[in-house]
Amino acid sequence: MTLTSKPLAFLVLVILFGAILITSLMGWWQTESTKEVALFTDGEYAGLPNPADIRGSYTFGDIERNFGIRAKVLAQAFQVNTTAPASYAIKDLEVQYADSDLEIGTASVRLFVAFYLGLPINIDADIYLPRQAADLLMDRPLTTQQREYVQKHIADNTLGESQSTSEPEPGTESEATLKENDSGDWVIKGKTTYGEILAWGLPRETIEKIIGVPIPDDGVKIKDHCSENGLDFETIKLALQSEVDKLK
């Protein structure tokens, strides 16, 4: 039997949508990707979700699904005012706290989740938390070392005092910045520009290799550039800081 074009097209549609229906009922068909964090593979935490795998593209809802911490608790901890906390993307914290001298971002969420649940996490650099997040952690059964770390890494002025602090006039450096540069304490912060790390001696080629794109302008803040281009500032900062430390 020879099928004409119309019956053949109809048969193709039946097979196509029938396959979709069956795979959907079986749970095999997915229209969007799901975010599953990596698990610890050995030791006493084997099989548990690893906070170090949390990424900026994750939402509070993804954290709730992977770790069991409610999205509204995360919103409270990081001062996120929204009616839909589950939809809030972690990378947006970098925008919310863009004017802060102390970085609050993906690394802060990783630290909060790890301490909140008693899971291990490597701390390669200072990671700061909003006061609300610190207060919530202090109600958890933290170790003495964890409590001391939290108390020393509270960013009290993340949404208040830092925004009202006057900026130095263009072409001038604040006394604090001058002292920092004189002491050789080159630390990349939220207000550090590409021009500053270039002045420290970090080659332009090295910077662009790390960020993966050309430097737009020497006066642009690294944190702002990362936020505008969907880059993970915490990851970029650690990589750049590692290269800067080699110059000391």
- Give per-residue pLDDT as tens, 113-142: 999 999 999 887 788 999 999 999 998 888
Quick check: 219 and 199 in contact, CB under 8 A? no
Residue 217 backbone class (left: φ over 0; alpha: ψ -120 to 50; beta: rest)? beta
Q: Quick one: pLDDT at residue 6?
A: 55
Which secondary-structure segment (H or E) carries 20? Answer: helix 5-25
Q: How many residues does the chain have?
A: 248
Which secondary-structure segment (H or E) carries 84? Answer: none
Q: Is residue 168 part of a domain?
A: no
Q: Quick one: pLDDT at residue 86?
A: 93
Q: Quick one: pLDDT at residue 13?
A: 57
The Cα-based distances of 201 to 122, 131, 190, 205, 236 in angstroms read 29, 35, 19, 11, 17
Shared domain for 156 and 190, answered yes or no, is no
Residue 230 backbone class (left: φ over 0; alpha: ψ -120 to 50; beta: rest)? left
Q: Is residue 191 part of a domain?
A: yes
Nearest to 55 by CA among 92, 103, 81, 97: 92
- Answer with the one of 140, 161, 182 that is the final residue of a domain: 161
Q: Is residue 83 part of a domain?
A: yes
Give the residue ranges of the chain where pLDDT is below 50.
Answer: 23-24, 26-32, 160-183
Query: Which domain covers residue 47, as residue numbers?
Result: 43-161
- Answer with the one of 161, 186, 216 that is the final residue of a domain: 161
How many other C-beta atoms lie within 10 A of the C-beta of residue 110? 24
Shared domain for 125 and 180, answered yes or no, is no
CA dihedral 226, 231, 234, 236 (to 10 degrees): -80
Shared domain for 104 and 185, answered yes or no, is no
Sign for the CA dihedral angle at 157, 159, 160, 166 comes to positive
Q: Quick one: pLDDT at residue 16?
A: 57
Shared domain for 132 and 67, answered yes or no, is yes
Structure tokens at 183: 């002491």
Q: Quick one: pLDDT at residue 165?
A: 36
Q: Is residue 20 part of a domain?
A: no
- Answer with the one of 161, 187, 209 that is the final residue of a domain: 161
Q: Quick one: pLDDT at residue 201?
A: 87
Shared domain for 196 and 240, answered yes or no, is yes
Number of domains in the chain: 2
Shared domain for 185 and 108, answered yes or no, is no
Q: Which amino acid is at 101?
A: D
d(CA 17, CA 215) in angstroms, rounded, equals 48
Nearest to 137 by CA among 80, 73, 71: 73
